């Protein structure tokens, strides 16, 4: 079955690719194994030179690369540019900090010398999603390659041109042949690739079902895995919050990346004292979002990535309404060509409703009235997910409680949840395990080797 690149703004086929045969897959794995034998001995300074060249190419060709992103998955072109430049920032972070992160850690014992050194594991399989088709991959590439690992990328099937472009960028930057390769394969072939004894570890960003399948196999094979899965992030607003800032960020936090982000705010929990004003202004802000051609810089929200995603989102909204939720604005797929969905706000979604516990991957927000901080924390934690939380309060005691009691991988106080190369990124509960980015992310795929000299 062919791998197709389809423009979500108009449904037109961009390009079509034949998946790799079994023999071609085995040849790529063999090349990766050969590359690792040589690459792990390449001095860190040389890896840094290649990574600096990679960052420079990303910056120089940001417009062209952003166009590939927008045409394949529909995010506004201006945000695609930002994504490409963020990849360059990630590359620079690791080329500047790898030496510090990889420095052996001396530990005082009775021995004459004892320390921990950080050694690369080998070939890491990266199963990556379509929503940030460059950034998700580069936050794997930058630490992995600087650490001496090599990578095989199984990208989402709807962004094959992004996958090919990224492999080309790595080669042009001067990294050894085979150090990073894209595998144009269907999802059903991931099992056989991961099952190859030469694959040392796997990292996956994607859906909960995909995460379960990969984690189960990796566990059986006793291979290291890192999972970054879905989220249903709470956005908590208490009476002391700067309401102007909270509303403005709330709209952006729900609509970022056309609403298709794991860490997008999805459940808005607002204190009763300010609820009515927040709801009114939030709904107005959602209605003001400009939906349309993602190639125009005036567009805020482009099409969703696939027709199937639109259908699923519409079904979730309809199910919530049937269960008793109220539609404050939007609620429907937009008429015409392309995968467009109206910016939507749902109020009063019953806790017994299935949608209450699901992730909404599109510009649909659920808003809830809470009596106090205790109820806000209870509702925020009433989910199987635990990726990030954005909390808005100027009360120091409330801030401390929220930071301490919220069950999530990150808590952003008076700020929108976002990934940053300098900070660990990842979740708990069904949002996954392990971390990406920062020193923690680089060390996920390193052997902490204890050395003692008597």
pLDDT tens-digit readout, 105-129 = 999 999 999 999 999 999 999 999 9
Q: Which residues pair with 433 in a beta bridge?
A: 227
| Residue-wise pLDDT tens digits, 158-195 | 999 999 999 999 999 999 999 999 999 999 999 999 99
Is 90 exceeded by the pLDDT of residue 236?
Answer: yes
Is 90 exceeded by the pLDDT of residue 1?
Answer: no
353 is catalytic: no
Superfamily grouping for domain 3-13+21-228+429-453: Aldehyde Dehydrogenase; Chain A, domain 1 (3.40.605.10)
Q: Are 181 and 39 in contact (CB under 8 A)?
A: no
Each domain of the chain, given as residue ranges in start order, spans 3-13+21-228+429-453, 233-413
Distance of CA 29 to the CA centre of its chain: 25
Distance CA 5, CA 64 (A): 17
Q: Which residues pair with 265 in a beta bridge?
A: 233
Which candidate in 262, 358, 359, 444 is catalytic? 262
Question: Mind giving me the DSSP string for 19-36?
Answer: PPPHHHHHHHHHHHHHHH
375 is catalytic: no
Distance CA 147, CA 242 (A): 43
Which candidate in 71, 72, 167, 228 is catalytic? 228
Distance CA 70, CA 323 (A): 36
Closest CA to 84 of 100, 65, 110: 65
User: For the domain with range 233-413, which CATH number is right: 3.40.50.300, 3.40.309.10, 3.30.300.130, 2.60.40.1250?
Assistant: 3.40.309.10
| Residue-wise pLDDT tens digits, 8-58 | 999 999 999 999 999 999 999 999 999 999 999 999 999 999 999 999 999
| Residue-wise pLDDT tens digits, 260-319 | 999 999 999 999 999 999 999 999 999 999 999 999 999 999 999 999 999 999 999 999
Q: Are 302 and 294 in contact (CB under 8 A)?
A: yes
| Residue-wise pLDDT tens digits, 320-363 | 999 999 999 999 999 889 999 999 999 999 999 999 999 999 99
pLDDT at residue 427, rounded to an integer: 98
């Amino acid at each position: 079955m062919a791998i197709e690149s389809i423009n979500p703004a108009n449904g037109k086929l961009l390009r079509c690719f034949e998946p790799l045969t079994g023999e071609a897959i085995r040849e790529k794995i063999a090349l990766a194994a050969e590359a690792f034998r040589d690459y792990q001995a390449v001095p860190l300074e040389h890896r840094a030179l290649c990574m600096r060249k990679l960052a420079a190419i990303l910056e120089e060709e940001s417009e062209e690369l952003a166009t590939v992103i927008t045409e394949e998955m529909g995010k506004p072109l201006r945000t695609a540019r930002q994504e490409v430049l963020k990849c360059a920032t990630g590359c620079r972070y690791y080329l500047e900090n790898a030496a510090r992160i990889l420095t052996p850690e001396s530990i005082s014992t009775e021995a004459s010398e004892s320390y921990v050194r950080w050694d690369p594991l080998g070939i890491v399989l990266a199963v990556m999603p379509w929503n940030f088709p460059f950034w998700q991959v580069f936050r794997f590439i930058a630490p992995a390659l600087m650490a001496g690992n090599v990578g095989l990328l199984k990208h989402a099937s709807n962004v094959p041109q992004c996958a090919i472009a990224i492999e080309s960028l790595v080669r042009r930057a001067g990294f050894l042949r085979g150090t990073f390769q894209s595998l144009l394969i269907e999802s059903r072939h991931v099992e056989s690739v991961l099952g190859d004894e030469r694959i040392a570890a796997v990292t996956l960003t994607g859906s909960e079902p995909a995460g379960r399948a990969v984690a189960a196999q990796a566990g059986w094979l006793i291979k290291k895995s890192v999972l970054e899965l879905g989220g249903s992030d709470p956005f908590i607003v208490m009476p002391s919050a700067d309401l102007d800032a909270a509303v403005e960020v709330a709209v952006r936090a729900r609509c970022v990346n056309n609403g298709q982000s794991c860490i997008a705010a999805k459940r808005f929990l607002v204190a009763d004292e300010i609820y009515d004003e927040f709801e009114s202004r939030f709904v107005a802000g959602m209605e003001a979002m400009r939906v349309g051609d993602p190639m125009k810089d005036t567009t805020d929200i482009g099409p969703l990535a696939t027709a199937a995603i639109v259908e699923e989102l519409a079904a979730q909204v309809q199910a919530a309404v049937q269960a008793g939720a109220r539609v404050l604005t939007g609620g429907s797929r937009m008429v015409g060509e392309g995968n467009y969905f109206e910016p939507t706000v749902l109020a009063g979604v019953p806790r017994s409703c299935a949608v209450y516990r699901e992730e909404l991957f599109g510009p649909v927000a659920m808003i809830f009235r809470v009596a106090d901080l205790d109820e806000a924390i209870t509702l925020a934690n009433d989910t199987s997910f635990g990726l990030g939380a954005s909390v808005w309060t100027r009360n120091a005691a409330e801030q401390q409680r929220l930071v301490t009691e919220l069950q999530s991988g990150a808590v952003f106080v008076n700020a929108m949840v976002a990934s940053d190369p300098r900070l660990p990124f990842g979740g708990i509960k069904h949002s996954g395990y392990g971390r990406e980015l920062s020193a923690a992310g680089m060390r996920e795929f390193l052997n902490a080797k204890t050395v003692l000299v008597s």
